[in-house]
Each structure stands twice: as C-alpha cells, then as structure tokens.
Structure 1
Amino acid sequence: MESLNKLIQTLEEMTDAHSRLLVLAEEKRTILVEGNIKELQSLINRESSCVEEIERLEQKRTELVQVYIAQKGLTGQSFTLEELINSQNDATTKTTLDYITKQLRGLVQKITQLNESNQQLIHASLSYVQYSMGMLVRKEPAIGYGPYAKNRYSNMLDAKI
C-alpha cells in the first residue's frame, strides 16, 4: 500500500509540473505575439527545467508502478494507468487515481494544443523574416566574369541614394 501512496503522490506532483508547463506555454504564446526575444529565451530555460522535472517524475512513476505490480503479484511488463485503476479494489483509491488521470490527460491535451499553436506562430514569424530578407538581399548572384558581368536583379541594399 505504501508504494501505491507514493505513486499517487508522484502523480500529483506530475499534475503540478504539467500545470506549470501549461502556464509557461500560455506565456510563450504572448511572448511570441509580442516578439520579445529576450523574454522568450528566459521562458525557454524555465520550460526546459520544467520538462526535466516531468521526465524525472515519469521515471519515478514507472519505477513505482513496477514495484506495485511486483507486490501485487501481477504479470506484465508495463501497466497503463487505466489497468492500474481497474486492478484496485478500494473505491476511494480508484476514484483518486481516476481523478488524477483525467487531470493529467486534460493538461497534456491543453499543452499539446498550445504547443501546436505556438509552432504555427513561429512558422509564420519565420516566413515573414524570410520574406523580408528576400526583399533586402540579392535574389540571384552575378552571372559571368570580369567587367561585363551584371546583376540581373537589384535590391534595396544595392540602391544608390
């Protein structure tokens, strides 16, 4: 029973970490819209540490599930949370695990949606930057050699004032 309590505690910690990651993803969206690069770098660092914490908790969760499975005498390489919930006899434990599972799934789904949206914002920004750079730089290199070589295209950087 102790391993199950530790597992529940770890799942709650994972829920907290995912909640923090969701807040960071929402902040990232705002920063991307504003185009604040310094703040984006700071946020990415905070996001990385949060992801590292989630990975650490996931490893701990996996180990606790294996210990619990061994204590219960159940067979199998890995158990999903659904299988773990269904193996419970205690209604309170079952309800607690089910609640935490739904919270985690909801958080992961929201984070995924925000990350996809943020990725689209980044792609749009990159497209704009590429377009802007295309306006400023030569589109085609000079053809030929010597004094008779001419540029076929001009650009804003080549313009004489």
Structure 2
Amino acid sequence: MASAQMIPMLQKLLYVHKELNHLAAEKTDTLKKGDVAALDVLLEKENEYVKTLRNLEEQRTQTSTLTMSKLIEQAAPEEIQQLRHLQEQLKKEYLLLKQQNQLNQQLLHQSLQFVNMSMNMLIPEPEKLTYSSSKANGYTGASSIALFDSKA
C-alpha cells in the first residue's frame, strides 16, 4: 500500500525539517552577533537541505498524490498511529521553522535599517548646486536679524 512507502519518506522529510530548524536557530544567533562569514556557511548548509527537501517532496508526489489526511484514511490499522504522529511532528516542525524564519527576517530588516541609518549619518546630503539670489535663501546682508540680544 502507498502508506508503507510513504512512512520512510515522511521520516526523511521530518529529519530535514528538524535540521532546517536547527540551522535557523543558529542563523538567529549568528545574525545577533553580526558574523557574516558564519552566516555564509549556514546559508550554504541551508541551501543543501532545501535541495534535499525539494527532492524528497518530488519523490513523495511521484509516489502518491494523496494528502496526509487521505493517506491516513486509506492506511492499514497498524500504520495509522505512526502516520498521525508523523503528521503532527511535521506540522510542528514546519510551524517552528516558519516562526524562526520570520524572526530572522525581522533581524535582517533591522540590520539593514541600521546600516542605512549609519550610511546616512556618514554621508551628508549634498548642498544645492544651483544659483539662488541672496534674498531667496534668507540672507539680506547688513539688515539681517541678530543671532543674540545684545541688550541682555
């Protein structure tokens, strides 16, 4: 039956999701530290796991196009409990990975905002290079208003 073939594949999918969660947690620590070299290494590992995940998912769809719910309905009684457990574990790992990736995305966004703010502070706005009359820019010469009150 299809469920007997799917159980080992679902176990592999679960393993890959757990590894991706582990890498996502490491990525969070690396982003907090600002270690770009370590982040590159983690991204390479993550890409390998994503490729593996795509291959497994492709194999799964070639083996059976059934959803997990349908697969559980059609499974033999001795396989139902194992399939339900795998379904719950996969759901849990997927949601955890989604949350971790959202956190990492927020950290990256904050880092980029900080870099942009720092760049804006270091690189001043260029002055206007066009000609303007002295009255247009507020300078009126001798009749200008004093900066401080000399009577005080």
Q: Distance in 1 between matches of 2:111 and 2:122?
A: 17
Instruction: Give the aligned residue type for 1:97.
Output: L
Matched, 1:9 2:2: no
Shift of 1:36: 0.2
Q: Distance in 2 between matches of 1:86 and 1:131?
A: 56
SS for the counterpart of 1:85 is: helix
Q: Distance in 1 between matches of 2:128 and 2:42?
A: 43
SS for the counterpart of 2:11 is: helix
Superposed CA offset, 1:14-36 (max 9, x none): 00011100000000000000000
Q: Distance in 2 between matches of 1:139 and 1:83?
A: 62
Corresponding residue for residue 62 of structure 1: 61
Q: Distance in 1 between matches of 2:103 and 2:56?
A: 26
Corresponding residue for residue 66 of structure 2: 79
Superposed CA offset, 1:2-55 (max 9, x none): x43221101000000111000000000000000000000010000000000001
Give me the CA root mean square deviation: 1.3
Corresponding residue for residue 150 of structure 2: none
Determine what percentage of the aligned residue pairs are the same residue.
31
Q: Distance in 1 between matches of 2:6 and 2:77?
A: 17
Greater RCO (CA < 8 Å, at least 6 residues apart): 2
Determine which structure has more spread, i.e. the larger CA radius of gyration. Answer: 2
SS for the counterpart of 1:84 is: helix
SS for the counterpart of 1:143 is: coil
Corresponding residue for residue 33 of structure 1: 32
Superposition map of 1:2-151 within 5 A: 3-65=2-64, 78-88=65-75, 90-144=76-130
Q: Distance in 2 between matches of 1:14 and 1:79?
A: 16
User: Closer, same or farther in 2 for the Cα pair 1:144/1:80, shift >3 Å?
Assistant: same
Q: Distance in 1 between matches of 2:54 and 2:7?
A: 16
Q: Is contact 2:32–2:107 with CA below 8 Å preserved after alignment?
A: yes
Consecutive unaligned residues in structure 1, runs of 5 or more: 66-77, 146-161
- Give the structure-1-normalised TM-score: 0.77
SS for the counterpart of 1:144 is: coil
Q: Distance in 1 between matches of 2:106 and 2:125?
A: 27
Superposed CA offset, 1:85-141 (max 9, x none): 1122x2221111111111101000000000000100000111010000000012235
Shift of 1:142: 3.9
Q: Is contact 2:24–2:97 with CA below 8 Å preserved after alignment?
A: yes
